[in-house]
Copies of this chain bind each other. A is one copy, B any other.
């Protein structure tokens, strides 16, 4: 890990750059798959599945029985842990329901918003050696609270054509009944355009590799909505002289192990931490199964010493981290000054992995600086707000002339006339 002591503005800017991913000809590839799926539906899905997942499927949708069978293989302790996490996620996302408030903006003019479910949503869960069943909870539970009518989960099949037991169990816990064994770009395109087995949805959620991300970007402002543009995971830790070097090292490594394109950064005003955290990181690294991945990420990573707490806060706001850990004496005060971050972890006993699994907050968060403009996934993400207005005769008598004058100034006669015909009738009564 690089160390920067009292860096210049330019040095800070450079070290906060995210690792650049090679894009290559992703766009062309994604377009090709999209056309195949649009033209040939399930047949194309099955061909891609054979090619990339090396399994020959006759049906793409798992039956309730298939799901139950897979779920039953989960150990009791893991089942209990998943249920505990689910309860916390449920509680926190339930609390995000918006109450409708009617506002009389002018006498006789009443306006309000109502939160309504997005009807059809698609959840993408990547495959791989370690199936991310926690993401099933993070996406499935808010979808259920929102009241989404159709929830389809796509995930690549294993060699047996089924899915990981923990994913099946998490799907059950989140009330998901439609599980399709298809992954990659083809899964995103199937949910965007629809096939015989996969319904087209209004919004697609979930993480994925650069192919999946490119597929989501390709359809995201064109065919259906997506949760957010995604990128490699990242964490920033702000630490003062009350912090524990071994806690910080563990937190940095827990992001680093996601992949060699991840980035982890500590910023401190306690100089001794620069060396003690470095030492702890390399000590703990030795014990990790995913040591190589983590080591790769450490090459993108940096420990920064600055003198003032205010500089630490500025750097955090400049970086807009996905995860921000405040290993500090007075984390609430510092948190109040953070303007851009996905999720913030306060104090020494709030590791980022708590939010990844079980504190109740969502772990699907904006990376790559998108925290400047995007929220993480929350109940809002599975809903939209409709505005309403109801104007009485008296209301229109009050407001009508204002509308007429403005419409006329925008040279929109018919807009004006929609008020005029009503005012005329009201006055003639």
Chain A residues within 8 Å of B, Cβ to Cβ? 77-78, 80-82, 84-85, 87-88, 91-92, 95-96, 98, 101, 103, 105-106, 109, 111, 113, 116-120, 129-134, 166, 202-203, 216-217, 220-222, 224-226, 229, 244, 246-247, 250-251, 253-254, 256-258, 284, 287-290, 294, 331-332, 335, 338-362, 366, 370-376, 378, 380, 384-393, 395-396, 399, 401-403, 405-407, 409-422, 425-426
Are A360 and B91 neighbours in the complex by a CB distance under 8 Å?
no
A372 to chain B, nearest CB (A): 4
Are A421 and B375 neighbours in the complex by a CB distance under 8 Å?
no
A179 to chain B, nearest CB (A): 19
Are A84 and B402 neighbours in the complex by a CB distance under 8 Å?
yes
Closest B residue to A411 by beta carbon equals: B130
28 contacting pairs across A/B (C-beta < 8 A): A80-B402, A80-B405, A81-B401, A105-B359, A105-B360, A109-B354, A134-B406, A134-B410, A166-B409, A250-B420, A250-B422, A253-B417, A257-B412, A290-B412, A331-B390, A341-B386, A343-B386, A343-B388, A344-B388, A345-B390, A348-B422, A354-B396, A355-B387, A357-B407, A358-B402, A358-B406, A359-B389, A375-B386
14 additional A-B pairs beyond A346-B389, A350-B390, beta carbons within 8 Å, are A80-B402, A81-B401, A98-B98, A132-B410, A133-B406, A222-B229, A246-B421, A250-B417, A250-B420, A257-B414, A288-B413, A335-B388, A355-B389, A357-B406
Closest B residue to A217 by beta carbon equals: B221
Q: What CA separation (Å) do A217 and B366 show in the bound complex?
A: 19
Are A373 and B118 neighbours in the complex by a CB distance under 8 Å?
yes
Q: What CA separation (Å) do A188 and B35 show in the bound complex?
A: 29
Q: What CA separation (Å) do A340 and B117 show in the bound complex?
A: 9
B residues in contact with A371, CB < 8 Å: 384, 386
Q: What CA separation (Å) do A204 and B224 show in the bound complex?
A: 19
Copies in the assembly, this chain: 2
Are B362 and A387 neighbours in the complex by a CB distance under 8 Å?
yes
Are B389 and A351 neighbours in the complex by a CB distance under 8 Å?
no
Pick from B92, B117, B250: contact of A105, CB under 8 Å: B92
B residues in contact with A360, CB < 8 Å: 103, 105-106, 109, 111, 389
A368 to chain B, nearest CB (A): 11
Given A78-B405, A134-B410, A390 and B346 touching (CB < 8 A)? Answer: yes
Are B413 and A354 neighbours in the complex by a CB distance under 8 Å?
no
Q: What CA separation (Å) do A88 and B406 show in the bound complex?
A: 14
Given A77-B405, A385-B380, A406-B357, A289 and B109 touching (CB < 8 A)? Answer: no
Pick from B91, B95, B133, B386: contact of A344, CB under 8 Å: B386
Are A414 and B256 neighbours in the complex by a CB distance under 8 Å?
yes
Are B247 and A418 neighbours in the complex by a CB distance under 8 Å?
yes
A330 to chain B, nearest CB (A): 12
